[in-house]
Amino acid sequence: MAGVNPTAGSNLNAVPAPSKQTLVQNYLSFTGGNNDWSQQYLPELYEQEVERYGNRSVSSFLRMVGAEMPMTSDQIVWSEQGRLHLSYESAVITTAADGLITISGGHAIRVGQTIVISDGTTVSKCYVKAVPSTTTLNAFPYDAVTLDTNYDNADTVDLFVYGSEFAKGQSGMNGAVKPEFKTFDNKPIIIKDHYEITGSDASQIGWVEITGEGGQNGYLWYLKAEGDTRVRFEDYLEMAMIESEKAGTNATWKDAEGNDIDGSEGLFAAIKDRGHYTAGIVQASAAADNLESFDYILKKLDKEGAIEENVLFVNRDVSLAIDDMLAAQNSYGTNGTSWGLFNNSEDMALNLGFAGFRRGSYDFYKSDWKYLNDKNTRGLFDDVRGVLVPAGTSSVYDQILGKNIKRPFLHVRYRASEADDRKMKSWITGSVGGAQTSDLDVMEVHYLSERCLVVQAANNFMLLN
């Protein structure tokens, strides 16, 4: 029987030569298939990873302005002091001839006290003669017989108490004003992540020289991906504290197993609920307009805690708008002004950026916030352009400790006890990479944290949106 010649496979593309010769038949294809390209030498391999996005981590905000403290409960509760003086907005003059004023929601003004009222045009000093109910009072102006001299029925006025007056021999003030305080609470959320690699992939060594945000510099094998996962999770720890929202009272948030998802109050949610916001300071606006917007911010701070030092964490547009605003106030040339001492020289680079400034009685320090600029985070939107954060600490009453404590206005509370510290946990399971916890042919790296953000005195914060 005649012999049968073997048939070459369809992807066989190399014919060996009897000697080391570069012939057209003995090139190896690197891609396989039906390609016809040939390559005489191995490709040049760049072993170093290209850092085309620079430092990709967006965390650091809370590290700069806050602190981290342990807690042992499912909920944190604190109270904040109320206003010291009595004032009421949008009161209505029900009957001007009788000096009857109605304050919706009730008031704590007493007979004998003196008040200032204004409808935005006319200001009057009045004596409180009677308090018929907790929502009404009778006030008579010092400069007229009745309120109808300057006001009409149904006029809306604002008012505040400035003192009291009593005749000789009269008894003291009736009633007392109890100090007001508001109670706030928040609860921690559990944040998790996970990384895994199979035993087969772990045994295929491929070294790459890398530089990572988590300090994993040098030559790494498959753990480069684990390092990226860890850094990403650490970013999530901060991003969750900034973006978290509480579940609404009418919401029925459930996970796949039917468990309640309650959420938590993050920074943006706290400022929107208890703080202030402004649409001012825009790069396209004139410097004078932006300065006027800043003056509005000062007036708002005057009405709140009047905290002298504040930090502005802003995106690129707001940062440039502030630089342009300040540069316009510190310019040379015709009608220009320049304040401060400068050692300018022709060899010195022109510095058009400002790190801080003082306006009125307030100091502002400006910092670019990468979280608002990064394309994969808030840089994807334009709804939040910056946040104004007061520097220093606040004194509040801690319901758990039962005493007044001083805390940074912004701080993170994480669950921890002698048995378990849940600030930042990680552990390995599987049967690869030294782990021997199961027969699963993978290495699994688990990450977990349980934490919440406490925003105290949110009335001193401001959101640029």
How is 344-376 classified by DSSP, letter by letter?
--TTSPP----SEEEETTEEEEEEE-HHHH-TT
Instruction: Please count the other Cβ atoms lying within 10 Å of the Cβ belonging to residue 96.
Output: 18
Continuous H helices in 244-336: 267-274, 287-303, 316-329
3-state helix, strand, coil in the chain (%, to 5): 20, 30, 50
Q: Indicate the residue type of 364.
A: F
Q: What are phi and psi of 70, to 5 degrees?
A: -75, 160
CATH-assigned architecture of domain 87-168: Beta Barrel (2.40)
Q: What are phi and psi of 335, to 5 degrees?
A: 60, 15
Contact yes or no for 94/152 (Cβ under 8 A) = no
> Any idea where the domains of the chain sit in the sequence?
56-82+179-333+352-465, 87-168
Spatial strand order of the sheet with 76-81 comes to 181-186, 76-81, 393-398, 403-408
Q: In 3D, which of 374, 428, 393 has the Cα closest to residue 307?
A: 393
Closest CA to 461 of 311, 359, 323, 361: 311
Tokens of 454: 């406490």
Nearest to 246 by CA among 262, 230, 226, 235: 262
CB 296 within 8 A of CB 278: yes
Backbone Cα Rg of the chain: 34
Q: How far, in Å, are 80, 247, 417, 454 from residue 186 at the CA level?
A: 14, 12, 19, 7
Alpha-carbon distance of 352 to 367, in angstroms, equals 14
Q: 447, 307, 334, 328: which is closest to 389 by C-alpha? A: 307
Hey, is 290 helix, strand or coil? helix
**Which of these, 353, 356, 457, lies nearest to 407 by C-alpha position?**
457
Rounded Cα distance between 350 and 346, Å, is: 9
Greatest pairwise CA separation for the chain in angstroms: 141
Determine the pLDDT at residue 13. 46
List per-block mean pLDDT (blocks of 10 residues) for the chain, which spans 465 residues: 54 52 52 50 57 74 79 87 87 94 93 94 94 95 90 94 93 84 88 87 60 56 70 90 83 74 91 91 89 91 87 91 84 51 52 78 89 90 90 62 69 90 91 84 91 90 92
Per-residue model confidence (pLDDT) at position 306: 83
In this prediction, residue 341 carries a pLDDT of 47
